[in-house]
Amino acid sequence: MNKKVVTMGEIMLRLSTPGYERFIQSDSFDVIYGGGEANVAVSCANYGLDAYFVSKLPKNPIGDAAVNSLQRFGVNNDYVARGGERVGIYFLETGASMRPSKVVYDRAHSAIAEADVEDFDFDAIFKEADWFHFSGITPAISDKAAVLTEEALKAAKRHGVTVSVDLNYRKKLWTPEKAKEIMTNLMQYVDVCIGNEEDAEKVLGFKPGETDVTKGELELDGYKDIFKQMKDQFNFKYVVTTLRESYSASDNGWSALIYDGNEFYRSKKYDIRIVDRVGGGDSFAGGLIYSLVTGKDYKGALEFAVAASALKHTIPGDFNHVTVDEVETLANGDASGRVQR
């Protein structure tokens, strides 16, 4: 039987300026759909897993379009409740060189932000499930969404489901104080914790040494120190971080680090020229989940996840449209980019 992976969160309407235009100069937007856990579900479906997305969307044509955007890539939407007033929106201005990308949210009072626990039958959702993934974005959406997230986690644990979290701190959604209060409590349900240096500090209160990613410098000993603290405090099976070295908005170094309680392992590093970095972390989580749920060892899982997310940076949109074979080709050393014919 295929592995069943469940993710829960918000899928939004993304309105992005064409090319590299700024908001102030653009008179049109490109329309796509995406959002943290939805992006992870698409990755898992691409790799052949039974991927289910849990959310709530309004019963109108925009809600239908959001659902269809997932269905076309193989995500099962049986657990998407319909109702509520609106689909959340975010506006994206893509940066280049030394000019950073900008995101503006318009997502208050979206359907999932106003959803009730009674909208979902979590025992049915997690029946025969193998994995559940959520991010720190979902409980940040609203107080009701935070309650919903914990109820989902309790049900996942009742059914013996492995749980992963991407800490994903979003300063436009909540304060570090609120994030720590909510997320520290939710960590009791988590087996695999993913987060970068800002997430570890803002969400859980851990700071990694002298790392300064704005200078493209990494202090791995700092990460090792906080990974040990996180493992000791929350008893995670794995603690994982992506390592983004931001040379500019266009060029990044990209690798990752994993800790299993005994050994630290850093993946190979890719120097990537970015087409679209939105969803890069989600594509990493999707690759990691696929690898671990199908039995790869944690080192192989990390290499697959890093390769998958490196490829995502070359693809426009939120979703990572790559196959297992394409990811494994890169992970095994072919980064030539030569035409396949």
Task: Output the pLDDT for position 216.
Answer: 46
Count of domains in the chain? 1
Tell me how far CA of residue 252 lies from CA of 98, 242, 257, 276, 301, in angstroms: 12, 12, 16, 12, 22
CATH number for the domain that contains residue 10:
3.40.1190.20
Predicted pLDDT at 213: 45
CB 296 within 8 A of CB 320: no
Q: What is the CA radius of gyration of the chain?
A: 19
Per-run averaged pLDDT (10 residues), the chain, 341 residues:
93 96 96 96 98 98 97 97 97 92 94 98 98 97 97 98 96 92 97 90 79 56 87 96 90 95 95 90 97 97 98 94 96 68 49
pLDDT at 200: 87
Domain that holds residue 184: 4-330
Closest CA to 321 of 69, 50, 95: 69
Asked if residue 178 is part of any domain, the answer here is: yes
The catalytic residue among 50, 119, 166, 282 is 282
314: in domain: yes
Active site residue 282: yes
Per-residue pLDDT at 221: 81
220 in any annotated domain = yes
Determine contact, residues 306/267, Cβ cutoff 8 Å: yes
Q: What is the pTM of this model?
A: 0.93
Residue 340 lies in a domain: no
Residue 340: per-residue pLDDT: 58
What pLDDT shows up at residue 223?
Answer: 85
Q: Is residue 341 part of a domain?
A: no
Residue 337 lies in a domain: no
